[in-house]
Structure 1
Amino acid sequence: MYIKTRLTVMNFLQYAVWGAYLTSMGAFLANVGLAENIGLFFATQGFVSLFMPAVIGIVADRWIAAEKLLGICHFLAAVFLGAAAYMGAQPQVAFAPVYTFYTLSVAFYMPTIALSNSVAYSVLRQNGVDTVSAFPPIRVFGTVGFICAMLTSNFTGFQNTYMQWNFSAILGLILSVYCLTLPLCPTCAEKAKSLAEALGLKAFALFKEKKMAVFFIFSMLLGMSLQITNAYANPFINGFNMLDGFSGSWGANNANALISLSQVSETLCILLIPFALKRFGIKKVMLISMGAWVLRFGLFGLGNPSTGVGIALLIVSMIVYGVAFDFFNVSGSLYVDKETDASIRSSAQGVFMLMTNGFGAMIGTLGAQWVINKLVNVHIADYAAQYGALAQGATYPADFSALIEKGWSCSWFIFSGFALVVMVLFAFIFKYKHEPEAIK
């Protein structure tokens, strides 16, 4: 029980660090004149995930105990994010220094997602605990931490300013110290037999197995959906304040609070994972996740935060998100841990992270930015060219408001259609025979 409590605290802080700014960063960037770069900031999380999780996983497997390395990474991420906050507090916010420090911060934070999973799995196994049954109830408190942090950012007003980054940095420093007190996660004692093994590249040999190769490829495709609503849900909902006939509603003024329902749904859905994996297997669980992504985006396309039916559709979308995220992200991580050898588990988690939050998130967010720039921001730019910047507290005329609202709807429907195509392809291509286990 003591070990589970220690890991629960770790998970709470791990995701509170991210929740402090992830869903509200888009609103802050828009407020300081960097709206057209929102996709780039979120895509950067994907870019650094192309190599940093794998590199850090290799170091954890071969040279530095995972819990110590986790603390080091959180310390560096917090320092750089604090520097980004300082640059974001200037009267005239310059893109280059803010983006540089932000990039350095996420370069050290993103590997901690896989590394914290690896630490939890290692400590649980050392204590003779079944990871499939024990990890989800521990991981659920990561989502609780995310919710607490994002609600704090919402109701303190941090969600619209650089203070969200300062808040995250403080949490990161606390976690960096806490990680150093966790139980030891030994590195691999066996001497490497080859250069590839010494460098931790053995995990990439998993691509030689057809089942794992197909799983990783579809993880990348599904990962393209992961950061889209994190990047654009807040600007989308908050943006209704500037649309004729929609401004002033509670939902539009409390975007983070509304989005937090997604994380509340996560806390419930994580607890379903042990049952779902044992009863249905990874293929059906992934298909359920993909179907949930179709609904997640589609309901965003139909909803709005300012009318009864509109906000109801958004709330349903928030509820669906728990299934969409957990049944893919958490179940996928457990599947990788189960299917890989102990000597490469941290590295394999890094590869999973590379495909999902690396290639997938980067391509998906940049693609989403292109779509939204073409369908939404083009109308905002047209208005600015004709009439100048929109006055604070004002709304766009009815014709521009209709174009912007339609642009957002079309964007969400495009993302929904993509998720549907991925789901159909996965159903036919991924071959996996599951033997249902007894539910305990």
Structure 2
Amino acid sequence: MKWNLRWRLSLLWFLEWGITGTVMTYMPVYLESIQISKTQQSHLYAVMAIGLWVAPFVVGQVADRYLAMEKLLAVSHFVGGLTLYFLAQAMELYDETQANFQSLIWLVGLFAVAYMPTVPLVSAMCFRHLTDPDGQFGKVRVWGTVGWMIGGVMLSFWLEQDLVLQWLGVNHPNWRAATFLPELFEKLPRPRNSDCFRIGAILSFALSSFCIFLPHTPPAKKPQGQVAPLAVLAMFKDPTVALFIGISCLLTILVVPLYNLAVPPMLTDRGVSANWVPVVMLIGQISEFPSLLLLALMLRRLGPKAVFALGIVAWIVRYLIFASQAPWSFVVLALSLHGVCHVFLAIVAQMYLDAQCSKDLRATAQNLLMFITLGIGMPLGTLLAGWLRESFHETPWKLFGVPALAAVLVLIVFWFTIRFPATLRQPASAEPAAPEPTPSPPASTGVATETT
């Protein structure tokens, strides 16, 4: 992989996940602090699925057939940045009045339409330009983890800037930062908890502007005739593909939303300050580094079926730890399993589906996987998670034990029914990286000037 391609795809992932790293790790705690009920929280998370309803049938079709991916990413992230900025204002208004919840629903839905489809588009862009996805994808995707981590740390340091400055002044008074940072912070507005959305907006605008430097990724020159989503749906004729996507959706319902909704409040119940929850959650993101770097080796040695199964086992183990109210050392272990849980499930699923379809359908196929797992599975899972939290918030062994038992059943079904290919490597004739023209100059908004 050439350095000119590697740094651009790496920075793309860095900003893509930096946006959610500043928002998603803190959002559950913030919603609790402004008195949004657990049921309302589940509704806000469920409405984010709207973006996945739009993705496979509009965005994927456009990216695969009509418009270059980098232009679509630029427009989407600019709209997403505007939405996050206004969402911060709306959250503060709700905190004061407790009377505009519907506006929060609309703004979260609009952000979902703008942002959520970009995640599979970024994956599809990487698969399009990487000549060896098995060996190269993890090396660029790992920078998404770095972006998520730095976004969370940056948010916590910003919200707790007084404590950070006090620590610097006491422990390292001679450091240049000990004198420079206080002067800088005095010129900036005082931190507010809703700044998680404002920082996400800044990163969204930065990514929108950066898209003019991304490798040109035009639509396939010779579409195969069908509307892209309809062609991808034909893949369901293969019972293995259909069953695999169904199992992926079921896992999304059972385990992912509950982790996002229940673990941050669980940490505050155990004595972690709300503003430091994003930093504690970094334990999970740090574990993605070895998981991503070892993914290619694991696929070669164990095969994709065993790697996917290990991801399910990791979810079972971490939820059993949470259910048992184990000591802090075990909680840290459960958080550190995040890399195996995420990489061995989500990324293997993306690679599997990408290997099953032709090059002019890859963006749509990735969006369809997101639609089924997150567009259908995530809202159902958030509603289930909201019900579990309302019903069992005082009995953790039920709150986390029920999904752990369900995941055991899914693992058994997966292992004894799914026939997986021995390898997910692309054939030798895989599409080479497209030649790249000189980037277009940016418009005043940071979006490429070419008509969309």
TM-score by length of 1: 0.84
Displacement of 1:199: 5.0
After TM superposition, the structure 1 stretch with the greater mean CA deviation from structure 2, 309-318 or 259-268, is 309-318
The aligned counterpart of 2:279 is 257
The Cα offsets for residues 20-64 of structure 1, whole Å up to 9 and x where unpaired, read as 111211111111111321222222223432332442111100111
Equivalent pairs: percent with the same residue?
Answer: 26
The aligned counterpart of 1:413 is 401
The Cα offsets for residues 211-250 of structure 1, whole Å up to 9 and x where unpaired, read as 211111111112222232122211221134xxxxxxxx45
Q: Describe the shift of the 1:54–1:132 C-alpha distance in structure 2 as closer, same or farther (beyond 3 A).
A: farther
> Does 1 or 2 have the higher relative contact order (CA < 8 Å, sep 6+)?
2
| 2:328 partner letter | I
Q: Describe the shift of the 1:210–1:408 C-alpha distance in structure 2 as closer, same or farther (beyond 3 A).
A: same
2:115 corresponds, among 104, 109, 117, to 109
The Cα offsets for residues 382-432 of structure 1, whole Å up to 9 and x where unpaired, read as xxxxxxxxxxxxxxxxxxxxxx2xx23320111211211111111111112
The aligned counterpart of 1:385 is none
Q: Secondary structure at the match of 1:272?
A: helix
Contact 1:273 1:327 in 2 (8 A): yes
Aligned length: 388
Quote the Cα distance in structure 1 between the aligned partners of 2:360 and 2:378: 27
The Cα offsets for residues 368-391 of structure 1, whole Å up to 9 and x where unpaired, read as 111111122xxxxxxxxxxxxxxx
The aligned counterpart of 1:323 is 340
The aligned counterpart of 1:43 is 46
The aligned counterpart of 2:73 is 70
Quote the Cα distance in structure 2 between the aligned partners of 1:85 and 1:76: 15
Q: Describe the shift of the 1:435–1:174 C-alpha distance in structure 2 as closer, same or farther (beyond 3 A).
A: closer
Equivalent residues in 2 for 1:225-264 (5 A)? 225-240=255-270, 249-250=271-272, 254-264=276-286
The answer on 1:204 being equivalent to 2:233 is yes
Displacement of 1:181: 2.1
What residue ranges of structure 1 are gaps of 5+ in the alignment? 241-248, 304-308, 377-403
The Cα offsets for residues 112-170 of structure 1, whole Å up to 9 and x where unpaired, read as 1100111112222xxxx311111101000101100111122223228982110111011
The aligned counterpart of 1:289 is 311
1:123 corresponds, among 114, 129, 137, to 129
| 2:37 partner letter | A
The aligned counterpart of 2:434 is none
Q: Describe the shift of the 1:89–1:435 C-alpha distance in structure 2 as closer, same or farther (beyond 3 A).
A: closer
Contact 1:56 1:111 in 2 (8 A): yes
Contact 1:28 1:160 in 2 (8 A): no
What residue ranges of structure 2 are gaps of 5+ in the alignment? 161-190, 426-452
2:87 corresponds, among 77, 84, 88, to 84
Moved over 3 A (4+): 249-253
1:56 corresponds, among 59, 68, 74, to 59
TM-score by length of 2: 0.82
Quote the Cα distance in structure 2 between the aligned partners of 1:106 and 1:77: 8
- RMSD (Å) for aligned C-alpha atoms: 2.0
The Cα offsets for residues 328-385 of structure 1, whole Å up to 9 and x where unpaired, read as 1111111111221111111111111112222222211211111111122xxxxxxxxx
Contact 1:20 1:167 in 2 (8 A): yes
Contact 1:298 1:412 in 2 (8 A): yes
Q: Describe the shift of the 1:84–1:293 C-alpha distance in structure 2 as closer, same or farther (beyond 3 A).
A: same
Equivalent residues in 2 for 1:23-38 (5 A)? 23-36=25-38, 37-38=40-41
Displacement of 1:74: 1.0
Q: Describe the shift of the 1:180–1:228 C-alpha distance in structure 2 as closer, same or farther (beyond 3 A).
A: farther
Displacement of 1:252: 6.9
